[in-house]
Amino acid sequence: MLVSAPYLIPFEARAPWEFGAAMAAMATMPLLKSVAEGDGHSVVIYPGLVSSDVNTLPLRMFLAECGYDVHGWDENVNLGPCPNAMARSIERVRRLRRKTGRKVSLVGWSLGGLYAREIARHVAKDIRCVITMGTPFIGGPEGREPPPVPTTSLYSRTDGVVDWQLSIHEPGRNRENIEIDASHNGMGMHPAAWFAIADRLAQREGGWKPFHRDGWRGWFFPAPRVH
């Protein structure tokens, strides 16, 4: 995995401020959740490298308040690709699908996004959509081809850990990129990321459309640039 340019590393100091912004967003939850009310389907959140479900707790709390059946990945610290953890994660998704009768959405932060994408490859019929944040999927075993389900990549050009260009989908059906101004370590706690994730999850099953940037959204979500 290629890391970002060294001059971007200081931007990671924003992470505590992004956490504070997330807490402020929680305080205004009625306003934020009304933008994209959930429909109750199951969502599983995968943490990044050397992270655990503790790190995704604010995001999970937010999505639960929005009206989703939210789950952590229920493993210990993410230490990278692990066949046993992958097999257990795939089975958990299958169980959720059997239990609820509805497709499951997957959200992955950083390397957690690689889990989400790979799980979606194995059980695509059980997956509603995949959303990743700062996930370096370019150049890995799967290459540029995303899972065969609607897939969204959130990325930041000021990511101080992962080279943002490794998180860019080629244009295509059911795939998109959403740029936000966030640090890598704070991306999963950034209000703009929360808004984009909630917006994507709120779409009707089978009715996926690309993220729109009309009106005020254009101030916070610039049109994706690949260079």
- The whole-number pLDDT of residue 196 equals 94
Tens-digit pLDDT profile for residues 35-57: 678 899 999 999 999 999 999 99
Tens-digit pLDDT profile for residues 62-110: 999 889 999 999 999 999 889 999 999 999 999 999 999 999 999 999 9
| Three-state SS annotation for the chain | CCECCHHHHHHHHHHHHHHHHHHHHHHCHHHHHCCCCCCCCEEEEECCCCCCCCCCHHHHHHHHHHCCEEECCCCCCCCCCCHHHHHHHHHHHHHHHHHHCCCEEEEEECCHHHHHHHHHHHCHHHEEEEEEECCCCCCCCCCCCCCCCCEEEEECCCCCCECHHHHCCCCCCCEEEEECCCCCCCHHHCHHHHHHHHHHHCCCCCCCCCCCCCCCHHHHCCCCCCC
Tens-digit pLDDT profile for residues 142-152: 555 789 999 99
Q: What domains sit in the chain, N to C, each tagged with a CATH number? A: 44-164 (3.40.50.1820)
